[in-house]
Amino acid sequence: MALRTLDSLGSLAGKRVIARVDFNVPLQDGVITDDGRVRAALPTLDHLINQGARVIVCSHLGRPGGAPDPKYSLEPVAQRLSELLGKPVAFARDTVGESAREAVAALEDGGVVVVENLRFNAGETAKDDETRRVFAAELAALGDALVSDGFGVVHRKQASVYDLAELLPSAAGFLVQKEVDVLDRLTETPERPYTVVLGGSKVSDKLGVIEHLLPRVDRLLVGGGMMFTFLAAEGNKVGASLLEEDQLDTVKGYIATAGERGVELVLPVDAVVAASFSADAQHVIAPASGLEDTPAGASGIGLDIGPETAEQFAAVIRDSKTVFWNGPMGVFEMAPFAAGTKAVAKALTEVEGLSVVGGGDSAAAVRQLGFADSDFGHISTGGGASLEFLEGKRLPGLEILGWEQS
């Protein structure tokens, strides 16, 4: 079955449409530091507004634990949405209570209200089906239809993502539709050469995606904190760098499988090694085979891929027709250790084909390093959901919309 799209809902003029989006944006002192997820929802919201729907926007933010917590309020997000839409956006101070009911009742055709954080209600994330169902029914009472456009949560069986889609006529929004189309291309019909670049802290976070993609890719590039487990698996000493010793045998298996399948596994040949985990720590470039042969010795910490590795990675990426990247190459938040991530990001902008940034820290990194979303073929809004899709896992929030994973 194919994903149900907006067309399947027919005319939405005058109807109350719940738009389940992912506005889980980073906040600092009540100020949004990256509004990428809000902007990603605009095409769907504009479409609903232009159709004359009465739009009820709902989302989670953070992990408030099932009770109201002012620091996780969606009010700053409602204000930012108003600015981006160029029109007033009402804000309800609860999710399904009196404030929400009054705000929805006051909506006119083309009007928008943001209701308070879904996770202020314990039923949203409850493991118990009946508890979730009760909350979903309260949400359903607010609307006539559901548009699911929060890709970052489609891997979760939550009330607003799964149960609500059973209770109301439901369809995917433009963002979810695009995410599925792009990720399906990555797993089923990639143009070759197909390169996957993986970084981030831990190998254990990427086990499923490595296993599922190894038979499908031509090249696998490994950087970030996880590279040290790969280097150690090849017999190198890695000092005080991040190392998952319990994954060494698994990684040795991946190295062997890559060789058997003819996958080009590209590991770092050098790294930036620092005396401590600090932006002002003394640091040097060391070959991958000699990470402890620095002034810091065995206490040295690898915090970025080195310049030679960055050049090699960039060359492989530029020579590819399809590239998926998930996870920074180093501690990009600290300027001395951001060069590797920046080199990979720049190379992705030069790909003559499909370049996909896999959400999460990678998306934050490219924006922090000065790249525009339009520099890439696609920036996913859901790091965890993207990885689970690429792992071949069942995603409840997509299945309930008619999608069947290949």
Question: Which range (19-23, 78-82, 380-384) has the least confidence?
Answer: 380-384
- What is the Cα–Cα distance from 289 to 223, expressed in whole angstroms? 15
- What is the Cα–Cα distance from 193 to 274, expressed in whole angstroms? 35
pLDDT at 94: 97
pLDDT at 34: 86
Better-predicted residue by pLDDT, 391 or 130: 130
Q: Is 359 annotated as a binding residue?
A: yes
pLDDT band at 188 (very low <50, low <70, confident <90, very high): confident
Q: Is 69 annotated as a binding residue?
A: no
According to DSSP, the residues that pair with 114 across neighbouring strands are 57, 91
Q: Do 258 and 220 touch, CB atoms closer than 8 A?
A: yes
Q: Do 25 and 37 touch, CB atoms closer than 8 A?
A: yes
239-256: pLDDT as tens digits: 999 999 999 999 999 999
- What is the Cα–Cα distance from 137 to 271, expressed in whole angstroms? 54
Interhelix angle 174-188/383-390, rounded to 10 degrees, is 40
43-84: pLDDT as tens digits: 999 999 999 999 999 999 999 999 999 999 999 999 999 999
Q: Is 109 annotated as a binding residue?
A: no
Ranges assigned E (strand) in 246-374? 264-266, 270-274, 283-287, 301-305, 322-326, 354-357
| Catalytic residue ranges | 37, 202, 360, 384
Q: Mean pLDDT across the chain, nearest whole number?
A: 95
Question: Is the confidence at residue 359, as pLDDT, over 80?
Answer: no
Q: Is 62 annotated as a binding residue?
A: yes
Q: Going by CATH, does the domain composed of 6-174 fall within 3.100.10.20?
A: no
pTM of the model: 0.89
pLDDT at 67: 96
Q: Is 333 annotated as a binding residue?
A: yes
pLDDT cut 70: percent of the chain above it:
100
Helix (H, G, I), strand (E, B) or coil at 23: coil
pLDDT at 405: 72
Residue 172 Cα to chain centre, angstroms:
18
pLDDT cut 90: percent of the chain above it:
84
Asked whether the domain spanning 182-391 has the same topology as the one spanning 6-174, the reply is: yes
Q: Domain extents for the chain? A: 6-174, 182-391
pLDDT at 361: 83
Question: Is the confidence at residue 358, as pLDDT, over 90?
Answer: no
Q: Is 306 annotated as a binding residue?
A: no
Q: Is 24 annotated as a binding residue?
A: yes
Burial class (CB in 10 A: 0-12, 13-18, 19+), 295: exposed
Q: Is 45 annotated as a binding residue?
A: no
pLDDT band at 360 (very low <50, low <70, confident <90, very high): confident
Superfamily of domain 182-391: Phosphoglycerate kinase, N-terminal domain (3.40.50.1260)
pLDDT band at 266 (very low <50, low <70, confident <90, very high): very high
pLDDT at 296: 87
